[in-house]
Amino acid sequence: MKLVQIGAVVVVLAAIAALSGVGRPEAANGSAPNARSVTVSGSGDVEAVPDRAGLSVGVSSDASTAGAALAANAAKAARVLEALRSAGVAKQDLQTQDVTVSPRWDDEGDRNGFTAHSSVEVKVRRLGQAGELLDAAVAAGATETSGPSFDRSDRAELYRAALKAAFADARAKAATLAGEAGASLGRVLRIEESSQTEQPLPMYDRMAAEAKTPVEPGSEQVDATVRVTFSLS
């Protein structure tokens, strides 16, 4: 009988211990009941002048048949590509974007021929050459251009620098809030990174103004945002 009573007491004590954690989230994750924290957002940015660009140049041709339009356009495209290579663009920096042939229609809805079109993307590794390349392409027969689109070759490194600045901003904000609360800033409990964004900022560039066709790269701003949770003591 005594053994049965002792077993019953053990079961009751176990139930009490289990129920003591109900309604107390800190008991479930092991945190102290009086644990405090602060969560802040920090932002940082790095500004840099672009060091490379992308251009798009295209040609189009009309003819009575699809084959004739395509052949005429191929000859035009070849002249444009040769002009770009002669201007110093490496073969691996030229990439065909599209080659199309489509029918042309007159005002009465009758087909009156075909139009062929093609375009090529040009990677510009020396920004001072961008205007010269546009001029060379148009002189060789290009009938449309678009761009330039600017970029940095070290964008990943710039973004990491922006992340460091964002974390420093978050720590400074958290330290200020901790001081106002009469607490000390503790260890980092959680960090969340936000998506990278870019902002082109206008800035005059001397070498671009010297090109025959002016191309101003301006500057780009690489942004970073983080959300950090610090413990308080």
Q: What local confidence, expressed as pLDDT, does residue 147 receive?
A: 84
Give the class (CATH, top level) of 26-49+154-232: alpha beta
Q: Which of 99, 100, 98, 153 is nearest to 123 (CA)?
A: 153
Domain parsing of the chain, residue ranges = 26-49+154-232, 52-151
Coil, helix or strand for 228? strand
Q: pLDDT tens digits, residue range 118-144?
A: 999 999 998 888 889 999 999 999 999
- Could you check whether 26-49+154-232 and 52-151 share the same CATH topology? no
CA separation, residue 131 to residues 4, 109, 118, 150 (Å)? 95, 41, 21, 13
Q: What local confidence, expressed as pLDDT, does residue 33 receive?
A: 41
First to last CA, the chain: 52
CA separation, residue 172 to residues 43, 169, 230 (Å)? 11, 5, 11
Q: pLDDT tens digits, residue range 73-107?
A: 999 999 999 999 999 999 999 999 999 999 999 88
Coil, helix or strand for 186? strand
* Residues of the chain where predicted confidence (pLDDT) is lower than 70: 1-34, 195-217
- CA atoms of 160 and 226, how far apart (whole Å): 12
Q: What local confidence, expressed as pLDDT, does residue 157 receive?
A: 93
CATH 3.40.50.300 fits 52-151, yes or no: no
Q: How far is CA 232 from the centre of its chain?
A: 35
Q: Which two tokens stand for residue 6?
A: 């002792």
Side-chain half-sphere of 107: how many Cα atoms within 13 Å?
0
The reported pTM is: 0.60
